[in-house]
Amino acid sequence: MFSELKPLPTDPILGLMAAYKKDTNPNKIDLGVGVYKDEQGHTPVLKAVKKAEAFRLENETTKSYIGLAGNLDYCDKMEKLLLGNEHPALLANRIRTAQAPGGTGALRVAAEFIKRCNTDATVWVTTPTWANHISLFEAAGLTVKEYPYYDYENKGLLFDEMIEALKQVPKGDIVLLHACCHNPSGMDLNAEQWQIVAELAKDSGFTPLVDIAYQGFGSGLEEDAQGLRLLAATVDEMLICSSCSKNFGLYRERIGACSFIAKDAVVADVANSVLLSVVRSIYSMPPAHGADIVNTILGSEELTQEWHQELAEMRDRINGLRSLLKDSLNAKGTSQDFSFIERQNGMFSFLGIDKAQIDRLREEYSIYIVGSSRVNVAGVSKDNIAYFADAVATVLK
């Protein structure tokens, strides 16, 4: 059986990771992998996380299963983190949540749940979107189509084109939206644009699926959730896939959540039974460690305050690097204006350079960027920015 298999191409980002590790150039820079890095190029464990882990180690009393939905206290706190304590959907008991193994696991659960709800549903994603979105939904047997989003030429949004495309989405289809810090473009909707999308969803009957993987990395925990909260206050039904990998720095703990909002509490209970059936058929029970860490932090005023401070430091560093990147690249007098970098949010941005230039950066300077020219801004530091800017300016000549 196995001898009949054909090798599949390596994921481009995983391939970059392997090549970067083998590179012996002391000046090498990794701008491909989408993880937060500090000034030393390290992805640190947050102090609040360390304290929560110590508390768990001291107080954990069992290794028994935690149930299909996972840690229910964690689920409750995640709902409040996403929506705020007084959101109408929460007060009306219309939301249900299942802990999931990372944001990716949450999306796969959502995909299978969508398939149970409507076998003919099409999932519409932004052009471009996180590459794994498409494979996750197709693996569940769903059709995936794209709608216009990022304007590569002008480094902005194709909002009018986006709305015209969404007007054609049939009732019962799913429209995936990035809550904040759009991956891979860094371009986000503003409050007015979110309102337009919400009203269109209500009138047209498509179901929003909001992927929120970077809450707190854009403008702040509350600000980054405003579009999600507006949608939840407008439509009868929606899905939310969240991740704690970035804002809690819990990448390898694989902790996220799949939530949905239903028309009322009765419908929510019925739908929740289907959601848990999906969980049972994929991985049965989620792991405990990551959820316990998040639950401990959000359940402690002291740890929450410390987490907020650490999150603000990460966010401020990213935003500062955006300004530094813009200034350093523009100072080189290149024909391309890089001011757009400062107008975007989160860790990612497209440099807007071509494949030949990307190859030169890797081959001549050991600067690793994915083929789309998407860069992880957090991979830059004050120590390597001059080297990076000189290299980009050289390949652009």
Distance between CA 165 and CA 162 in Å, rounded? 5
Q: What string of DSSP letters covers 27-66?
A: T-EE-SS-S---TTS--PPPHHHHHHHHHHHHH----S--
CATH of the domain at 269: 3.40.640.10
Do residue 36 and residue 148 come from a single domain?
no
SS3 content of the chain, % helix, strand, coil (to 5): 50, 15, 40
Q: Give domain status of residue 127, yes or no.
A: yes
- Dihedral of the alpha carbons of 269, 275, 277, 282, in degrees to the nearest 10: -160
Summarised one tens digit per residue, pLDDT across range 338-378 is 999 999 999 999 999 999 999 999 999 999 999 999 999 99
Same domain, 98 and 216: yes
Marked catalytic residue, from 194, 246, 292, 307: 246
Same-domain status, 86 and 111: yes
- Which position among 28, 37, 77, 130 bears the catalytic label? 130
In this structure, the answer to whether residues 291 and 313 fall within a common structural domain is no
Q: Which of 154, 124, 166, 158 is nearest to 142 (CA)?
A: 124
Residue with tokens 């994915």: 370
What is the pLDDT at residue 387?
97
What local confidence, expressed as pLDDT, does residue 8 receive? Answer: 86
Q: Does a structural domain hold residue 5? A: no
Residue 245 and residue 255 in contact, taking contact as beta carbons nearer than 8 Å: yes
Regarding whether 345 and 228 lie in a shared domain, the answer is: no
- In angstroms, rounded to a whole number, what is the distance separating the alpha carbons of residues 68 and 284? 6
Q: Which residues of the chain fall below pLDDT 50?
A: none
Catalytic status, residue 124: no
Does the annotation count 130 as an active-site position?
Answer: yes
Domain assignment of residue 2, yes or no: no
63 neighbors 250 (Cβ within 8 angstroms): no
**Predicted local distance difference test score (pLDDT) of residue 334:** 87
* In contact, 291 and 271? CB cutoff 8 Å: no
- What local confidence, expressed as pLDDT, does residue 60 receive? 96
DSSP assignment of 59-86, as one string?
H----S---TT--HHHHHHHHHHHH-TT
- Predicted pLDDT of residue 14: 80
Let me know whether 95 and 157 are in one domain: yes
* List 173, 188, 211, 224, catalytic entry: 211
Q: Tell me the pLDDT tens digit for each residue of 37-82.
A: 999 999 999 999 999 999 999 999 999 999 999 999 999 999 999 9
Q: Which domain holds residue 182?
A: 65-299
- pTM score, whole prediction: 0.96
Residue 120 bears catalytic tag? no
Are 271 and 316 contained in the same domain? no
Last residue of a domain, one of 299, 333, 363: 299
Query: Does residue 277 sit in the same domain as residue 162?
Result: yes
Count of structural domains within the chain? 2
79 and 202 share a domain? yes
Out of 279, 299, 319, a domain closes at 299
Residues in the chain: 397
- Computed over every residue of the chain, the mean pLDDT equals 96
